[in-house]
Amino acid sequence: MIGRRILAFWVDLFLSVFLTSAGLWLLRQEILRGTDSADLFNPLRAWAEGRFHPVAWVVGLFLYFFLFLSANSETPGLTAFGLTVIRNADEDGRQRIGTSRALARTILLSGSALFFGAGFLPVFFNDRRLALHDCLSGTRIVRVRSRVSRPAETS
């Protein structure tokens, strides 16, 4: 399951970078199209003409993880690998984690990644395979057994 988590994270990272890049490009094009190129003192145009926007990247990555987790407790990467995020107390895995836990998990996830991935190391050393952001946000990642409910068999 650790391999699935790692692959899901990389898929999510790729998708979030792609979506953030596309969104920034569209936003920059609209700003450049809607402002006068002769206006040298327009800070919005100066921002749009810049090449690297680190704050916008951080906001885009944050929004990707937060919105997907708060909407259905899964990101596209987790869904692709048959994983979902549940509350620690939720044994059947049917409840969504909710907006507050999604916010906490996203903030703590960024903290886990901030120090060269040190927050992910506990996954290798505890029996429940919880990372630091899992422990502190009260969530865990589990494998989804079946997404389609099957009708009862009749004999």
The pLDDT value recorded for residue 92 is 61
The pLDDT value recorded for residue 57 is 84
Average pLDDT, consecutive stretches of 10 residues, N- to C-terminus, the chain (155 residues): 86 94 91 85 85 85 94 93 86 75 90 81 82 87 69 52
What ranges do the domains of the chain cover?
Answer: 2-143
The pLDDT value recorded for residue 53 is 79
Q: What's the pTM? A: 0.80
Q: CB-based contacts of 101: which residues, under 8 Å, 6+ apart?
A: 87, 137, 138, 139
Which pair of structure tokens corresponds to residue 137? Answer: 């946000």
The pLDDT value recorded for residue 42 is 85
The pLDDT value recorded for residue 40 is 79
Q: CB-based contacts of 99: which residues, under 8 Å, 6+ apart?
A: 70
The rounded radius of gyration (Å) of the Cα atoms in the chain is: 20
